[in-house]
Amino acid sequence: MKIEKIEAIPYAIPFKKPLKFASGQVTVADHVLIRVHTSDGVVGIADAPPRPYTYGETQQSIVSVIRDVFAPALIGRSILERDRTTAILDRTVHNDVAKGAVDIAIWDALGITLGVSVSQFLGGYAHHMRVSHMLGFDSAEVVLDEARHFIDDYGIRAFKIKVGRRPLHLDLDLCKVLSSELEDDIELYVDANRGWSANEAVSALPALVDSRISLFEEPCDAREALGRRRLVTTSTIPIVGDESVPRPGDVSRELISGGCNAVSIKTARGGFTNGTSILNLCQGMGVDVLMGNQIDTQIGSAATVAFGAAYKATHSRPGELSNYLDLADDLIAEPLEIRDGSMAVPTGPGVGVSVDPDKLSRYRTDK
């Protein structure tokens, strides 16, 4: 069960349309496929989605740090040495997406080797998870039509609305339209991606409350510490930390300083091991969590649902699992399905999904 080789394969798949939000936009999924090969002939996989405007990692930096730093340090080690692996990865600061993908691929290889589902191995709480879909910047009419499409075609009943534009009424009017036009049992929450100032976020609160917004994610830069603390104290809507809380130490800092009172966990940003540490910390402090999305492919979404369904706390809220639907294609061999607003955990060993070799050959950019 020793690691023999680690591959980092860059690839690019276009989106059907640009996905726009406060910190940037994406038109192409220029991700990295990670493959961990073991001495038993097992191959574990994971997807690494670079977000340079949020975390500083690029497709090339992910390939380089895995090829030049992580792989040489991990080859020859057993996939059972999970804490040792984490310690080795953490010798290198930052690079959380690259670390997370290596971590997930090792967990996948371990599950395949043992013949068990990683989701069951982690916690085994449930076999499915409710789905939330992310809606990017556009006119109220377009976003409303998009939401209705996902309600009608997939049964999705929860939506994250990207906000953070100026003037504020662009987004506040959008939220008002969605809350008035969609059924009352459909959950709506917002994510500003640090696009507003703390004062702007405070001024937006009354309108967001009137639009029955359930969560307010990253309303402003967490470095606006005093303003953000005032926002958390003022708001009746939970303030969610996301890009400000990539690691357990960041979670502790933001919760103790009053920078947030709920936390988004992303398997793409730190893997299963880091995610478990954050979850345990939040549970110990009585803090709500939700499963976030890094505009993941189906491989990434499979990892998210595997983790999210494994624990009661993460399963209690809809997970952001569906944004692969905005991609023109995918690498996955067995497509995921969303039925009646829920996604089932893949049933195979490991994370439960595999790569279509023809699609990988078509979309990889290193050959």
Catalytic residues: 162, 191, 217, 242, 266, 294
Structure tokens at 118: 């990683």
Instruction: Identify which of 183, 201, 180 has the alpha carbon closest to the alpha carbon of residue 192.
Output: 201
Assess contact for 239 and 219: CB atoms under 8 A: yes
Q: Cα(320)–Cα(318) distance, rounded to whole angstroms?
A: 7
3-state secondary structure of 125: coil
Q: Could you tell me the two tokens for 238?
A: 């939970």
Q: Closest Cα partner for 165 from 187, 144, 194?
A: 194
**Cα–Cα dist 67/73, whole Å:** 10
Question: Residues 6 or more apart from 29 whose CB is under 8 A from it?
Answer: 12, 13, 14, 15, 49, 295, 297, 327
Q: Residue 221: helix, strand or coil by DSSP?
A: coil
Give the type of residue at 171.
D
| CA proximity to 219, closest of 176, 138, 162 | 162
| Contact assessment for residue 349 and residue 112, using Cβ atoms and an 8 Å cutoff | yes
Beta strands in the chain (DSSP E): 3-10, 13-21, 24-29, 32-38, 43-48, 128-135, 158-162, 187-191, 213-217, 239-241, 262-265, 288-291, 319-320, 338-339, 342-344
SS3 state of residue 21? strand
DSSP string, 285-342: HT-EEEE--SS--HHHHHHHHHHHTTSHHHHTS-EE--GGGGBS--SBSS---EETTE
Q: At which residue do the structure tokens 């990683």 appear?
A: 118
CA distance 256 to 87: 25
